[in-house]
Structure 1
């Protein structure tokens, strides 16, 4: 058995009438848009970007120093992009998984694992302290083997986790199917250090908390230029500007305001669907009593989870790159991708036949070649950038924000001494080599899936030089 390559009529019917708006953002409790910046503003710290990294930076800065004047500007609306379009998997991993971390930061991985666990605890404590209701549940995550050849990889991951002091439990086919009733399940590994949450509620809650702490937030405010102005930084926008002593750039997949960083990330498009709420019988037919986040284990993978009202979010699989680092919002809708996701959902859970999707959407991911965040200091350390999360930033953004603040404040901390924080990934080549390399890699990932995970010469070579492409 393999994953279906095309969508059948039932899958097409599932998504045919779905809204193209992201489910998380298409709700009556979405806050009204805040005003844009007009005129001049003055700040001790300017934060650019209203996603998780920017919001955690603003909140943390205000909590560390209540007298600090903090301004946050967002091009569109809070959580409009990656932070409001993801699956809501808040993982303790700072490195996009154990294997990736061990490959790239072998000497630091034990400590990075500990810092990731501490970050997850800190996020839970912050939700409580700040009074944020994000439907957060520490359910953990089941990483599922859909085919026999994936079981060995899960066992290796469990062994690696043990060496790092983590608890990752292996489940055989019988135990895994008892937890999740699917004919596609051959085994699983359970990671307890994952919180499932509502990402938009988290972002909206952080924005409200930031304002209570004195942060000024402006939406509809795109920074068009950043420059040194007589020893201070000046950020220009269409209707005004901000003068600031220090700046943190948390702009995700948008082109960096620091031009030399633009080769370090590429915008990758990821797609998801959300079903209607399941009936009690439909819900019972799935098992899934632990409400864990689910992810499968191939070179291309799906992620799926239950919402508070028992919908299923199902996303992933393809990661699309468009020539010239295309970021046009027309890429948010791809009927073929949505239909194929529906086909795969029905393949995994055939008992969902007849269920409709209410929402289908796409979003852009700031992919770096090392699959996890990196930091940069520019303008003599007065400007710090934190980007490159590659689709696993809900939890890691908290750590990234704390590290960015340490750097911009000139602090010598354990975080700033980490190789992970001090180093950068390999940049992607310019076009047309970028498009050609990513296209070949995507084709080779699909080929690897068909060949029971065999990496082949191209992917092996990319692994050796540390240049990757992932979502």
Structure 2
């Protein structure tokens, strides 16, 4: 059985659309401030390792909680250069990578998790306004679309669960006009869109404004415990500190015991040239919602401030060995597939070209949302596993890390989601075999009316099923 995205697209159209594209994140194609590497050894109260969203929110909130403490942030490359500067800019309220994923894992606290997620999103918006962060924030809401008959009922069920307003085919095409749409679910308050790189850079500025010291091009290599202080070795000087927030996400953890808990999965993105008014009129999209379809292998897309369509998803590629390598990013087969799917979705935009193509690694675990922990006698807090839906969740995660380091019990730290860890992935070659078999099964389900095979049913029963 074919899906709508198996439709034939003229290869010449795909070739033309990609011919002039630049390899690299559109978001990072802007002037960025440089922060120095440390010139000598450092001593601080709290050391944050990682200059993406998790690290930046951790440093900012640590400084705001404890203005008398010295906070230092180390980044191995440049602020926001990895996932925080490459994602689609969807700021979703969910802390659990979707309602269904959260409900299946924590049914007794899903209402609390949903409430906390909305409070975090509202708090993030208020804090961005308070600090004057120029991040192109737009509270547009999220439009989920059905492109296959069986997905229509899924959206009806979600609407019955108060996850949004169900839209029939005419209503959804009145919002965004695609011949692939069969129904929609509009959630007006649960999502914003943002310029992801600007958000990271503005968070760094806010950190600096409250006294956080930021150092780039400084890679932490080892945490040495024992005695009254922690010592963190880097490829430069040693940093001595009282506590550490480990915010390295997809990169190999400095805590060896955590290295089997996540794997890197590569996500790929295209961005069009700015649409003219006439081109935009062909598809509507007046409310500028974020859009995602309902398949297991799904696409996500949104408009930038200058009316480019940022179009990503579908392929999620795992490479044997858990390695994070730039060589995995320029994958022409996937970019061609994404371009073809774009023209299936919007055939009326066959005169549009792509200006940028890029990719990045997502940190995922076996429950598809963040997990936390403490190490080194409670002096190191860590969080990993956002699975690509972390723009808002990292802010919540940072507060959990700081709660844990402060040794205080809060509604956040009492959550089962925070207290329990996911099952680890097996070592290679079992990890690769399992991940590729799961990916094949998800694709098969998309091509068979959503029906899950024995492998997916077994994973569901074990609490390992992908369901968001």
| TM-score normalised by structure 2 residue count | 0.97
Are positions 1:15 and 2:18 aligned together? yes
> Which of 416, 424, 429 is the equivalent residue of 1:427?
424
Identify the residue that residue 56 of structure 1 maps to in structure 2: 57
Counterpart-to-counterpart distance in 1, 2:206 and 2:279 = 38
1:70-85 aligned at under 5 Å gives the runs 70-85=71-86
Counterpart-to-counterpart distance in 1, 2:336 and 2:329 = 14
Q: List gaps (5 residues or longer) in structure 2.
A: none
Identify the residue that residue 386 of structure 1 maps to in structure 2: 383
Partner SS for 2:134 = coil
Instruction: Report the alpha carbon displacement of residue 261 of structure 1 after superposing the two structures with TM.
Output: 0.5
Tell me if the contact between 1:367 and 1:469 (Cα under 8 Å) persists in the aligned partners: no
Partner SS for 2:5 = coil
Identify the residue that residue 175 of structure 1 maps to in structure 2: 171
**Which segment is superposed worse, 269-278 or 15-24?**
15-24
> Which of 190, 213, 225 is the equivalent residue of 2:186?
190
Tell me if the contact between 1:367 and 1:470 (Cα under 8 Å) persists in the aligned partners: no
1:277-296 aligned at under 5 Å gives the runs 277-296=274-293
| TM-score normalised by structure 1 residue count | 0.97
Are positions 1:237 and 2:234 aligned together? yes
Q: List gaps (5 residues or longer) in structure 1.
A: none
Are positions 1:299 and 2:296 aligned together? yes
Partner SS for 2:38 = coil
Partner SS for 1:24 = coil
User: 1:317-363: per-residue Cα shift (whole Å, max 9, x none)?
Assistant: 01000000121111111111111101001100011102111100010
Identify the residue that residue 94 of structure 2 maps to in structure 1: 93
| Residues paired across the two proteins, number | 464
Q: Report runs of 4+ in structure 1 exceeding 4 Å deviation.
A: 468-471
Q: Aligned-pair RMSD on alpha carbons? A: 1.3
Tell me if the contact between 1:134 and 1:198 (Cα under 8 Å) persists in the aligned partners: yes
Counterpart-to-counterpart distance in 2, 1:226 and 1:154 = 47
Counterpart-to-counterpart distance in 2, 1:407 and 1:383 = 9
Counterpart-to-counterpart distance in 1, 2:130 and 2:385 = 28
Instruction: Report the alpha carbon displacement of residue 16 of structure 1 after superposing the two structures with TM.
Output: 2.2
Counterpart-to-counterpart distance in 2, 1:274 and 1:440 = 30
Partner SS for 1:381 = coil
Tell me if the contact between 2:301 and 2:310 (Cα under 8 Å) persists in the aligned partners: yes
Partner SS for 2:418 = helix
Are positions 1:374 and 2:361 aligned together? no
Are positions 1:116 and 2:117 aligned together? yes
Partner SS for 1:283 = helix
Tell me if the contact between 2:79 and 2:200 (Cα under 8 Å) persists in the aligned partners: yes
